[in-house]
């Protein structure tokens, strides 16, 4: 596993060329930090996100290479209107796009350009603000210390995917934050369902993450030291981490935080006891937040709708 983590090289040519050449589209991406964020991947590429959807997967091999999922490609219609006709050919029906539909020009990701707005609108169709991905993006953009999203690794034939990585400067710790919405079926279970062969509830997911964090703690620390170094080189660190020189001396907390991101107070009151009892032994804490409480922090002790199961040591 160490070898795979060590693939991230802060001196990789992608990062060197971005620093050296400062292409206009890259500078525009960095300027657009109110709606766009960038994550560094362990295989030396970057993912650029809007609302949790990747608008650009960026790598380097004899030049910059980028790609986007075909479903996210924004289209424009020529000559006005919003509809494209069908063609009826014998027993076959085709959509007639001839001279009517084209790809939107991205204008180098200009902050106020029509291209980036069209791209954002397209991704918004897949990930609206109320979706888990949209909520994830909201937390990243409205807080100052989320270093990463969507870390993925296959561990002992088990897929691990961390939604968010939070760096707590006061505690000198990195935290895995598992984000859920109240509609996620893994939050709803009883003791009988735990006995089923297909059991896949929130506590079993956190147990899997805790095992990974315990056995691979130093590998993760080393990886995120390099992530930090790359983001600092590229000037894309979140504001709350810009004053740090490095993550030297930081450690990973071995228990993840459960964050439920679209709660109402009624839902919290009805589900608090069941949820906290199910995760208190495998989570660092459980935070219930809603649309108007996007500020993320780790309290020193239990507060309203934030419960700690591990004592903070400052």
pLDDT for 23-45, tens place per residue?
Answer: 999 999 999 999 999 999 999 99
Note whether residue 164 is domain-resident. Answer: yes
The neighbouring-strand residues paired with 167 are 174
Question: Among the listed ranges 1-10, 85-94, 244-253, which one has the minimum average pLDDT value?
Answer: 1-10
* 159 and 217 part of one domain: yes
What are the backbone dihedrals phi and psi of residue 19, each rounded to the nearest 5 degrees, phi first? -70, -40
Angle at 57 between CA 53 and CA 58, to 5 degrees: 145
Number of separate domains in the chain = 2
User: Domain range spanning residue 34?
Assistant: 1-127
* 171 and 294 part of one domain: yes
For the chain, the average pLDDT equals 91
Show the tokens assigned to 111.
């902050």
Within 13 Å and on the Cβ side, how many CA atoms surround 273? 2
Note whether residue 193 is domain-resident. Answer: yes
Last residue of a domain, one of 70, 98, 127: 127
Note whether residue 133 is domain-resident. Answer: no
**Buried-state track 15-35, b at ≥16 Cβ within 10 A, e below 16:** beebeeeeeeebebbeebeee
Checking if the pLDDT of 184 tops 50, the result is: yes
What is the DSSP-derived secondary structure letter of residue 303?
A: B
* 178 and 113 part of one domain: no
314 vs 15: CA distance, rounded Å: 35
pTM above 0.75, yes or no: yes
* 169 and 289 part of one domain: yes
Span 187-238, pLDDT tens digits = 986 655 555 544 458 998 999 999 999 999 999 999 999 999 999 999 999 9
Note whether residue 136 is domain-resident. Answer: no
* 257 and 209 part of one domain: yes
Note whether residue 138 is domain-resident. Answer: no
User: Residue 197: its pLDDT value, please?
Assistant: 45
241 vs 222: CA distance, rounded Å: 17
Torsion, CA 190, CA 270, CA 279, CA 299, rounded to 10: 180
User: Which ranges of the chain does DSSP label H, i.e. alpha helix?
Assistant: 2-5, 13-21, 24-31, 114-126, 132-141, 191-194, 202-215, 217-234, 265-279
Last residue of a domain, one of 72, 99, 127: 127
User: Residue 111: its pLDDT value, please?
Assistant: 87
Q: What is the mean pLDDT of residues 88-104?
A: 88
Span 107-149, pLDDT tens digits = 999 988 888 889 999 999 999 999 999 999 999 999 999 999 9
Span 42-95, pLDDT tens digits = 999 999 999 999 999 999 999 999 999 999 999 888 887 889 889 998 889 999
């Amino acid at each position: 596993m160490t070898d795979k983590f060590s693939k991230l090289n802060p001196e990789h040519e992608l990062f060197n060329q971005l620093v050296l050449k400062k292409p206009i589209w890259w500078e525009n991406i960095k300027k657009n930090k109110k709606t766009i964020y960038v994550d560094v991947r362990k295989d030396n590429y970057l993912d650029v996100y809007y609302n949790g959807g990747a608008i650009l997967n960026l790598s380097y091999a004899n030049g910059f290479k980028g790609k986007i999922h075909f479903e996210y490609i924004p289209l424009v219609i020529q000559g006005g209107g919003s509809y494209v006709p069908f063609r009826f050919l014998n027993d076959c029906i085709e959509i007639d796009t001839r001279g009517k539909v084209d790809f939107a020009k991205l204008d180098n990701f200009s902050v106020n350009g029509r291209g980036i707005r069209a791209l954002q609108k397209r991704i918004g169709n897949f990930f609206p603000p109320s979706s888990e991905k949209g909520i994830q993006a909201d937390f990243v953009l409205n807080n100052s210390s989320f270093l990463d999203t969507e870390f993925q690794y296959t561990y002992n034939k088990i897929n691990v995917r961390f939604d968010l990585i939070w760096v707590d400067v006061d505690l000198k710790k990195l935290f895995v934050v598992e984000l859920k919405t109240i509609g996620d079926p893994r939050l709803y279970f009883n003791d009988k369902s735990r006995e089923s062969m297909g059991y896949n509830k929130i506590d079993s997911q956190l147990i899997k993450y805790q095992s990974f964090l315990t056995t691979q703690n130093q590998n993760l620390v080393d990886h995120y030291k390099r992530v930090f170094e790359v983001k600092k080189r590229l000037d894309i660190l979140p504001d709350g981490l810009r004053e740090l020189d490095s993550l030297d001396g930081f450690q990973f907390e071995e228990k993840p935080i459960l964050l439920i991101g679209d709660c109402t107070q009624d839902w919290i009151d009805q589900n608090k006891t069941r949820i906290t009892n199910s995760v208190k032994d495998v989570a660092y804490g459980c935070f219930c937040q809603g649309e108007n409480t996007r500020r993320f922090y780790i309290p020193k002790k239990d507060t309203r709708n934030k419960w700690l199961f591990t004592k903070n040591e400052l």
